[in-house]
Chains A and B, each alone.
Chain A
Amino acid sequence: MLRPLINRSPMPGLGLSMGITLTMLSLVVLGPIGALLAQGASYGLEGIWATVNRERVWAALELSFRLSFFAALFNLFFGVILAWVLVRYDFPGRRLVDAAVDLPFALPTAVAGIALTTLYAPNGVFGVLAKEVGLKIAYTQWGIFIALIFVGLPFVTRTVQPVVEEIDREVEEASATLGATRLTTLRRVIAPMLMPAALTGFALSLARAVGEYGSVIFIAGNIPLKTEIAPLLIVIQLEEFNYDGAAAIGIAMLVISFAMLLAINLIQIWSRRRIGDV
């Protein structure tokens, strides 16, 4: 049976709240995204392909998605450990570390960008250390990797933390009394419980990294084919008033991002089904 579009409710303000919500959503978000898609449509699939299918664009897209993937992978690993440490262990400065996790959310990306660049530049504090072991970080792909880790750092920790808090110790005790070693318990009991939240955090971190601009462009060096990220390519096209080119790359990024989010959602549904909802 079809539900009515809107059920009757005694609550006041239906017209007003719906009006404000839909008007602002259309004006600020849907309209502009629609304008991008319309521009792409006028350009045609072949037009988009012709723009995207150039060595420089492919290189930028490949670089953005590859480094974002590895940065999100690092954040998955570090974020789960950090969430575990913050919930389970008590140590001096725990609250400070907990608060510091959110700094990448609160710090403007341009500020993060110039600070990281200064730190990792050949004459910077960490740059000098890296040079000792023969590694150049700023103005190479390593620099981009570090900036992407920075911006995506809080996501996994913040999604996994509440789940660790919820874990019933009795489950772990049961596992231990049945003869499992601590490692087996962590691997076979705890890890599956954390998996869906960790994947959500991974997806958020990945999506954020792919679109990141401010913190990357300072440290990247921006050399075409080598350290040029996809969002920068859009900015370059716009500066040349090449709206078609910018729109084509923008749509390519949107499509790849949504496809990735969809894939991760499917993995999540699959892992929930396999393990059962926690």
Chain B
Amino acid sequence: MSDAAERNWRSATDETPLVRGGLILFAVAGIALLVAAPLLTVFAEAFAKGWFAALKSLGNPDALSAIRLTLTIAAFSVPLNAAFGIAAAWFITRFDFRGKAFLITLIDLPFSVSPVVAGLCIVLMFGANSAIGGWLVAQGYPIVFALPGIVLATMFVTFPFVARELIPVMIEQGCKEEEAALTLGASGWRVFVTVTLPKIRWALLYGVLLCNARAMGEFGAVAVVSGKIRGQTATMPITIEMLYNEYLSVAAFSLAGLLTALALVTLLVKTVLELRHADEIAATHRH
């Protein structure tokens, strides 16, 4: 820091060392108690009976089926939401139309709806009692209490993630380069792939990462639509609940440890992206 020499005395815009120390202590203690302690608890409980017991519990058929199901759900819902996010961001930032602010509000809507209410909405629209759901069940394609319903519920709660990251970045970057490419005769698709995509790749990765973490960990909405059928519609978070309620602490926390590891990797990549590509992901919209 260039003003290191000036730091010897206190400037008018600093708090006293005592206040400063107190605030730092308060903040660090708060994070340690509220965030770090639960995090450590997950791993402490998972390995309470040793590494072997933890690993063995993950090899249980129910746990394996839950892991497989959760990966399947993410494999459907995350790319679909990424496609939506790109399309919505393109539509909103590249065209001028009436009702744009309203459209953005609608896209953000899932953030202010309880996951349980989201699940309820899916059940009411696609459940066996509804017109659409009843017809689909008659055709042999049940939505609720089956994979499609869980994917839909997951998509509902993670719907805004990618669009939200892309829109501010694409507004900031403008579309001068795209216009140049168009006047040089590039096709629309080529402009998107060779000009736009490289400009937004880090913001896209950022959004996809957050979307994926939430998709794999979603509990409330999935609890409502899945029917919690063991070995069939029980995702990782649902299986964690079942194991925990059966007092199988090591098994519950081992599975929870896997999801926690995913969360930590997500945070790590996110931090790296924010450090390296801060200008390419909207700094004011990070969270």
Given contact pairs A5-B97, A28-B156, A213-B220, A115 touches B287 in the complex (Cβ within 8 A): no
Collect the chain A residues with CB atoms within 8 Å of residue B20's CB.
89
Nearest neighbor of B110 in chain A, beta-carbon distance: A29
Q: How far is the CB of B170 from chain A (nearest CB, A)?
A: 12
The docked-state distance in angstroms from the alpha carbon of A250 to that of B124 is 11
Chain B residues with Cβ below 8 Å from A253 are: 114, 117
Of chain B, the residue at the smallest CB distance from A237 is B120
Q: Cα distance A50–B12 when bound, in Å?
A: 61
Known contacts A17-B87, A29-B110; A254 and B260 CB within 8 A of each other: no
Q: Would you call B87 and A30 a contact (CB within 8 A)?
A: no
CB distance from B278 to the nearest CB of A (A): 12
A153 touches which of B34, B42, B125, B270 (Cβ 8 Å): B34
Q: Are A82 and B182 in contact, with the CB atoms below 8 A?
A: no
Q: How far is the CA of A14 from the CA of B87 in the complex (A)?
A: 9
A213 touches B31 (CB 8 A): no
* A150 proximity list for chain B (CB < 8 A): 34-35, 38
Check if B120 sits within 8 Å of A238, measured CB to CB.
yes
> Is the CB of A231 closer than 8 A to any CB of chain B?
yes
Chain A interface, number of residues (Cβ within 8 angstroms): 100
In the assembled complex, A35 has its CB within 8 A of some CB on chain B: yes
Which residues of chain A have C-beta atoms less than 8 A from B80's C-beta? 24
Q: How many A-B residue pairs have CB under 8 A?
A: 293
A44 CB within 8 Å of chain B: no
Residues 120 to 171 of chain A near chain B (Cβ within 8 Å): 125-126, 146, 149-150, 153-155, 158-159, 162, 169
Within 8 A of A (CB), among B102-122: 103, 106-107, 109-118, 120-122
Instruction: Establish whether residues B117 and A211, one from each chain, have CB atoms under 8 Å apart when the complex forms.
Output: yes
B62 within 8 A of A: no
Closest B residue to A241 by CB, please name it: B129
Cα A104 to Cα B36 in complex, Å, equals: 10
In the assembled complex, the Cα of A176 lies from the Cα of B15 at a distance in Å of 12
Q: List chain A residues, Cβ under 8 A from B97.
A: 5-7
Q: Tell whether A110 is near chain B: CB-to-CB under 8 Å.
A: yes
What interface size band does chain B fall in?
A: 35 or more
Q: Establish whether residues B178 and A33, one from each chain, have CB atoms under 8 Å apart when the complex forms.
A: no
Known A-B contacts A13-B192, A33-B113, A89-B24; the reply to A103 vs B123 at CB < 8 A is no
- Least CB distance, A163 to chain B, in whole angstroms: 9
The yes or no answer to B137 lying at the interface (CB within 8 A) is: no
Cβ contact within 8 Å between A108 and B39: no
In the complex, chain B residues whose CB is within 8 Å of the CB of A4: 98
Closest to A232 in B: B116
Is there contact, CB below 8 Å, between A32 and B216?
no
Looking at B34, B129, B224, which has the most chain A CB atoms within 10 Å of its CB? B34
Cβ 8 A contact of A111, one of B84, B188, B237: B237
Q: Quote the shortest CB–CB distance from A48 to chain B (angstroms).
A: 14
Give the docked Cα–Cα distance between A86 and B106 (Å).
33
Query: Which chain A positions have C-beta within 8 A of B112?
Result: 207, 211, 257-258, 261
- Neighbour of B241 across the interface among A89, A106, A110, A232, CB < 8 A: A110
Complex: A106 Cα to B260 Cα, angstroms: 8
Residues from chain A with a CB closer than 8 A to the CB of B178 are 11
Q: Give Cα A18–Cα B5 distance, bound, in whole angstroms.
A: 57
- For the complex, is B279 an interface residue (Cβ under 8 Å from A)? no
Which of the residues B84, B117, B130 comes within 8 Å of A234, measured between beta carbons?
B117
**Which residues of the partner chain B approach A110 to less than 8 Å between Cβ atoms?**
217, 219, 237-238, 240-241, 256
| In contact, B124 and A243 (Cβ under 8 angstroms) | yes
Is B120 touching A250 in the complex (CB atoms < 8 A)?
A: yes
B114 touches A210 (CB 8 A): yes
Interface membership of B75, Cβ < 8 A = no
Cβ contact within 8 Å between B37 and A119: yes
Contacts of B224 in A (CB 8 A): 234-235, 238
Distance, CA A82 to CA B116, complexed state (A)? 31
Residue of A nearest to B30 (CB): A78
Q: Is A81 in contact with B45, judged by CB distance below 8 angstroms?
A: no
Q: A13-B192, A102-B267, A212-B114 are contacts. A21–B88 as well, Cβ < 8 Å?
A: yes
Starting from the known contacts A14-B95, A29-B106, 18 additional A-B residue pairs (CB-CB under 8 Å) come to A5-B97, A6-B96, A28-B155, A28-B156, A33-B113, A36-B121, A81-B23, A82-B27, A105-B213, A107-B217, A111-B259, A119-B37, A149-B34, A155-B287, A182-B16, A213-B114, A231-B220, A234-B224
27 contacts between A and B (CB under 8 A): A6-B98, A7-B95, A11-B95, A25-B84, A36-B121, A81-B27, A86-B27, A97-B31, A106-B266, A106-B270, A107-B260, A115-B41, A125-B37, A126-B37, A150-B35, A159-B287, A182-B12, A182-B14, A210-B114, A211-B112, A212-B220, A214-B115, A218-B244, A234-B117, A243-B123, A258-B112, A261-B112
